[in-house]
Chains A and B, each alone.
Chain A
Amino acid sequence: MTKDIIAFWGYPEKSLIKKTKNEYPNAKWVDLDIDINAPDLKLLPENYCVIIKNIYNNALFLKDKIIKILAPIGKDKCDSAYFASEILKEAGFCVIQTIFEDVCPDLTKISVPISKSSLPLKEKIELITKNIVEQKEYNYLKQSNPRFGFWGVPPNDLSLLDLFPDGTEVFGWCRAVEAGYPGDYRIETYVDKNIPTIFFTQAFCSKTQLAKYLANKYEGLFIDVDVSPNASIRAKIEAFIKLR
């Protein structure tokens, strides 16, 4: 079988993306963080971050087609990803570890037109993740006057984002990714205190610590979701949006 996929997770260092694009101009890029309905191989403990489970399940499902995996392992991703990168190496993958911990030299100059746009939240998150590879400009997007904020990473089940009104502003890791600094703690933890915000993490992710802390600090709503949001989580978001 022809290998034609460049797989990655998180936000690999920009120059590595550029170099790999030049090296494999016809390759398809697959984000292993995203659930593509690969069979669950149950390689990880039951109570573990579903995004890391996705990485394993997707990588092994696509193994015959993957040329190499660009594997962020720094503060821009997490320790679990580092362990996954080592284990996948042992499983025979070509794994290029990357660390993207650059910090923004001037926070007043960061550009996040997607995060601040009036698009539906799901479209925003999809666009931000897609743009990791595409690197297009979105300055033309109409900016929103947001009633709510969403803080966090792209959820495993994107249907969660349909519960938010259009124009919900994006904060957290997604915003840091759009800004081009996925490991910049200051961007990741920035929240507009005037915008009621829902702080989301995947269950069993170390970012739950940050989300809970920030939710208390900014009087927002903390939610953690494992695979998909249950009725309780949906109702909590709905109530927060109706009452706030």
Chain B
Amino acid sequence: MEIYVDAGTTWTKILKVSENEKKYEVIPTRDLKKLDLNPKKATGHSIIQAQNYENEVVALANGAKKYLEDDFIALDLGSRDIKWVKYKNKKFQDMDWNSSCASATGATVEMLLKFYNVSVSDLIYTKEKYSITCGIFGLEKIMDDVSKGLEPEIAISKFVHGIAYNAYIFTKSPEKICISGGFCENKCFIKCLEQYCKVVPLGRFVLVDGLEMLINQD
């Protein structure tokens, strides 16, 4: 069996390929060390020391190619970083990767949901958004507004809208963005991003698919 691992900060995505089937799994990254995995190829912030490590953007680009046409922008929004890659006429065109300030990505939303005891399904699209150039200031606004009586789910939704807007600006305001990562399952985020461009959710396993494709290319 071949195993491919994308070990993010919070969640680890695993692809197991055997002769007859492909199996995808998601486990908390804190449990990764308990498993005796010997991945054929690995990527992600939490497994950077792996011998057969692959750059995350390279994995993203290859994984996205499986799902997409010749021209695309694939954005991976993770727990602690955000990265995207653009292809035009099947050729790599542009990219960016911001992990120096990741306070306003997945981990922050998860923490907020836990802190205010709100379910991700309770988040709803709000026209208003917080400006979250700095995630810490964003948190401050949420706490201020909640203390003034705003429902926490509305405040977090405004925060998520801010993340969606930032993602759109970070990718240079394209017409269409293909989303990879856990935010694909956040309906509020998708709806917010759809206010700015077309959105194609690709799911959480784009990077592990990319790892498999790289092996097959080799």
Contact B48 A231 (CB under 8 A): yes
In the complex, which residues of chain A have a beta carbon less than 8 angstroms from the beta carbon of B58? 238-239, 242-243
How many chain B residues sit at the interface, stated as a range, is: 10 to 19
Residue on B nearest A239 in the bound complex, by CB: B57
65-107 of chain A: CB within 8 A of chain B? none
Residue interface mask B81-101, A partner, CB < 8 A = 1? 100010000001111111110
Partner of A219, one of B55, B61, B93, B98: B93
Bound together, the chains give a CA A236 to CA B97 distance in angstroms of 6
Whether A230 is near chain B, meaning CB under 8 Å from some CB there, is: yes
In the complex, which residues of chain B have a beta carbon less than 8 angstroms from the beta carbon of A242? 55, 58
In the complex, which residues of chain B have a beta carbon less than 8 angstroms from the beta carbon of A221? 95
Interface centre among A232, A235, A238, A239, by most B CB within 10 Å?
A239
Bound together, the chains give a CA A221 to CA B94 distance in angstroms of 7
Partner of A235, one of B56, B85, B92, B94: B56
194-244 of chain A: CB within 8 A of chain B? 219, 221, 230-232, 235-236, 238-240, 242-244
Contact B96 A236 (CB under 8 A): yes
Bound together, the chains give a CA A103 to CA B94 distance in angstroms of 33
Contact B97 A235 (CB under 8 A): yes
Bound together, the chains give a CA A8 to CA B58 distance in angstroms of 42
Bound together, the chains give a CA A244 to CA B85 distance in angstroms of 11
Q: Is the interface of A mostly helix, strand, loop or mixed?
A: helix
Bound together, the chains give a CA A240 to CA B97 distance in angstroms of 11
- How many positions in chain A have a CB within 8 Å of any CB in the partner chain? 13
Residue interface mask B171-212, A partner, CB < 8 A = 1? 000000000000000000000000000000000000000000
Residue on B nearest A234 in the bound complex, by CB: B55
Bound together, the chains give a CA A89 to CA B3 distance in angstroms of 64
Residue on A nearest B94 in the bound complex, by CB: A219
Residue on A nearest B92 in the bound complex, by CB: A243
Partner of A239, one of B55, B99, B100: B55
Bound together, the chains give a CA A230 to CA B100 distance in angstroms of 8
A121 to chain B, nearest CB (A): 19
Contact B48 A239 (CB under 8 A): no
Bound together, the chains give a CA A78 to CA B47 distance in angstroms of 42
Contact A239 B93 (CB under 8 A): no
In the complex, which residues of chain A have a beta carbon less than 8 angstroms from the beta carbon of B48? 231
Bound together, the chains give a CA A169 to CA B93 distance in angstroms of 20
Residue on A nearest B54 in the bound complex, by CB: A242
Residue on B nearest A222 in the bound complex, by CB: B96
In the complex, which residues of chain B have a beta carbon less than 8 angstroms from the beta carbon of A232? 81, 97-100
Contact A244 B97 (CB under 8 A): no
In the complex, which residues of chain B have a beta carbon less than 8 angstroms from the beta carbon of A230? 99-100
Bound together, the chains give a CA A243 to CA B64 distance in angstroms of 13
Can you name 24 A-B residue pairings with CB atoms under 8 Å?
A219-B93, A219-B94, A230-B99, A230-B100, A231-B99, A232-B97, A232-B98, A232-B99, A232-B100, A235-B56, A235-B57, A236-B57, A236-B95, A236-B96, A238-B58, A239-B55, A239-B56, A239-B61, A239-B85, A239-B95, A242-B55, A242-B58, A243-B57, A243-B95
14 new A-B contacts, CB < 8 A, other than A230-B99, A236-B96, A239-B58, are: A231-B99, A232-B97, A232-B98, A232-B100, A235-B97, A236-B97, A238-B55, A238-B58, A239-B56, A239-B57, A239-B97, A242-B58, A243-B58, A243-B95
Binding site for B on A (CB under 8 A): 219, 221, 230-232, 235-236, 238-240, 242-244
Q: Across chains A and B, which 9 residue pairs bring their CB atoms closest together, nearest first? A: A239-B57, A243-B92, A232-B99, A236-B97, A239-B55, A242-B58, A238-B55, A239-B58, A244-B92
Binding site for A on B (CB under 8 A): 48, 55-58, 61, 81, 85, 92-100
